[in-house]
């Protein structure tokens, strides 16, 4: 294993919420929550100001509203997040050919492979310059971890949050890991964590003290060997350059086989929701829903259903997964369940509109609406205005939707470079009001190319 801290992990700070704060001056320094706003919506990202109230990602939106009733609740703008992510990933690839994106806002970089760093001093300089470049180009902040392995670099970036840089010096790894929870290590999820806790193992130090033989006995040969190595700060995983994502999936293994059919169904629904959160986090949608069931006798069954078009709608994925489960006999018990989505595609504006509208499943799945004879054509549907999305008014200029309902839409008129703007309310069918494209977070002067900006960056106010 290399000894120099030349593996870098970048994690953008509260990415979706920070983008919204950067584009909306009135929200800087305020609690902002981004996610699905429907009855079954979940939090995608919460600003650091919202986290003070206990709001966090993957939390049901209804619970978030109870904890932080005065926060701004916004519908995601994935097309914008993807475009900013591409700017950030471009800066990383300028540093090294070995960049491994984990999501829109997170990636590993092998600095040594790019000739950018070879020791502690050069690694720290490279990390500091990268953070400054990201801020100058996007106006956003990111936290950087530097270490000799991927596992340690990710731990370091978590310690650096928000808006910081932490380098783990060679020789200090064991002392750093010792008091940390076993859940800190890659591959230790809730089930494994509970299993270790019941065995009296709570920290990474206790994991190392237990010894390799005991961990193999508790967790099996492959998992036991891997966790013992990580507890000793050994992580040989290389940074792998980006490969096309073929599928997005999640699965859970249960310490005790599940026999109750109702609970099996509930677990499948929960996994479907987790899968969709991961799908949306990567800015993707998919056509094929896959269910994986490993039964009590270790036999593994997979079932799949292909939709007419790509979706990221949690209701659609849940319903498809439930239909697939209907075709599987779970008598005798289930030890593993998984839900995945393949046939992936980038978000389209149509996907986003259907998602923001909180309905239109047929449209989102690519089905043609039935033709209606001209004489029976209904009145045009009321336009929907998702909270947080961009609009332009013929008289007042660019703004964003604060909320809508009862035939009215409330708009705050401001831009990323303006002072906090004034609020006005219009009829939802006001002909002077139209949806608009997002404005750049960082203005460029005449002659400046995309991704290059003179002068210092402006932070989004998220800390």
Q: Which residues are catalytic?
A: 106
The encoded tokens of residue 271 equal 């996994």
User: Which residue is listed with tokens 């609009």?
Assistant: 391
Q: For residue 212, with 0-12 CB atoms within 10 Å meaning exposed, 13-18 middle and 19 or more buried, which class applies? A: middle
Q: Report d(CA 119, CA 433) in Å as an integer.
A: 56
User: Which residue is listed with tokens 């004489």?
Assistant: 375
Sheet strands (E) in 271-348: 284-295, 300-311, 334-346
Provide the b/e sequence for 333-365 (b: ≥16 CB within 10 Å). ebbbbbbbbbbbeebeeebbbbbbebebeebbb
Q: Up-side HSE of residue 295: CA atoms within 13 Å toward CB?
A: 12
Instruction: Return the closest-CA partner of residue 239 out of 85, 88, 97.
Output: 97
Q: Report d(CA 320, CA 420) in Å as an integer.
A: 44
Q: Report d(CA 115, CA 134) in Å as an integer.
A: 20
Instruction: Return the closest-CA partner of residue 317 out of 286, 354, 348, 350.
Output: 286
Q: Report d(CA 388, CA 412) in Å as an integer.
A: 10
Triad 207, 213, 216: Cα angle to 5°: 80
Q: For residue 173, with 0-12 CB atoms within 10 Å meaning exposed, 13-18 middle and 19 or more buried, which class applies? A: buried
- Give the dihedral sign, CA 181/182/184/190: negative
Sheet strands (E) in 42-105: 43-46, 72-74, 99-103
Q: Report d(CA 36, CA 335) in Å as an integer.
A: 31
Query: In whole angstroms, what separates CA 3 from the centre of its chain?
Result: 31
Q: Report d(CA 138, CA 133) in Å as an integer.
A: 8
Instruction: Return the closest-CA partner of residue 197 out of 206, 209, 208, 185.
Output: 206
């Amino acid at each position: 294993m290399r000894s120099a801290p030349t593996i870098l992990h970048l994690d953008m700070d509260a990415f979706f919420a920070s983008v919204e704060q950067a584009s909306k001056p009135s929200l800087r320094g305020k609690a902002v929550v981004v996610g699905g706003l429907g009855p079954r919506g979940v939090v995608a990202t919460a600003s650091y100001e919202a986290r003070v109230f206990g709001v966090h990602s993957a939390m049901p939106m209804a619970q978030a509203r109870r904890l932080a009733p005065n926060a701004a609740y916004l519908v995601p703008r994935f097309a914008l997040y993807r475009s900013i992510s591409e700017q950030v990933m471009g800066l990383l690839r300028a540093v090294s050919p070995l960049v491994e994106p984990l999501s829109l806002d997170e990636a590993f970089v092998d600095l040594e492979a790019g000739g950018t760093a070879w020791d502690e001093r050069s690694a720290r300089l490279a990390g500091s310059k990268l953070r400054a470049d990201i801020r100058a180009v996007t106006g956003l902040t990111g936290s950087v971890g530097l270490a000799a392995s991927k596992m340690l670099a990710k731990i370091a970036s978590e310690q650096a949050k928000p808006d910081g840089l932490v380098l783990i010096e060679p020789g200090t790894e064991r002392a750093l890991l010792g008091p940390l929870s076993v859940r800190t290590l890659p591959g230790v999820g809730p089930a494994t964590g509970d299993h270790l806790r019941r065995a009296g193992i709570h920290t990474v130090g206790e994991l190392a003290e237990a010894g390799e033989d005991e961990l193999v006995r508790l967790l099996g040969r492959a998992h036991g060997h891997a966790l013992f190595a990580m507890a000793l700060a050994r992580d040989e995983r290389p940074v792998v350059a980006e490969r096309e994502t073929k599928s997005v999936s999640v699965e859970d293994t249960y310490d005790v086989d599940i026999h109750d059919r109702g609970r099996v169904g509930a677990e499948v629904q929960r996994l479907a929701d987790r899968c969709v959160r991961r799908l949306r986090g990567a800015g993707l949608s998919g056509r094929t829903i896959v269910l994986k069931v490993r039964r009590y006798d270790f036999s593994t069954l997979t079932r799949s259903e292909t939709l007419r078009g790509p979706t990221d709608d949690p209701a659609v994925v849940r319903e498809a997964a439930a239909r697939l489960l209907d075709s599987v006999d779970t008598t005798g018990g289930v030890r593993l369940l998984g839900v995945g989505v393949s046939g992936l595609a980038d978000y389209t504006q149509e996907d986003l509109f259907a998602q923001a509208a909180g309905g239109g499943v047929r449209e989102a799945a690519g089905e043609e609406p039935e033709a209606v004879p001209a004489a029976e054509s209904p009145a045009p549907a009321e336009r929907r205005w998702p909270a947080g999305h961009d609009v332009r008014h013929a008289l007042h200029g660019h703004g964003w939707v604060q909320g809508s309902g009862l035939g009215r839409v409330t708009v705050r008129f401001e831009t990323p470079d303006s002072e906090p703007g004034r609020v006005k309310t219009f009829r939802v069918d006001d002909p002077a009001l139209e949806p608009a494209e997002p404005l750049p977070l960082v203005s460029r002067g005449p002659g400046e190319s995309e991704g290059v900006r003179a002068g210092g960056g402006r932070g989004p106010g998220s800390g």
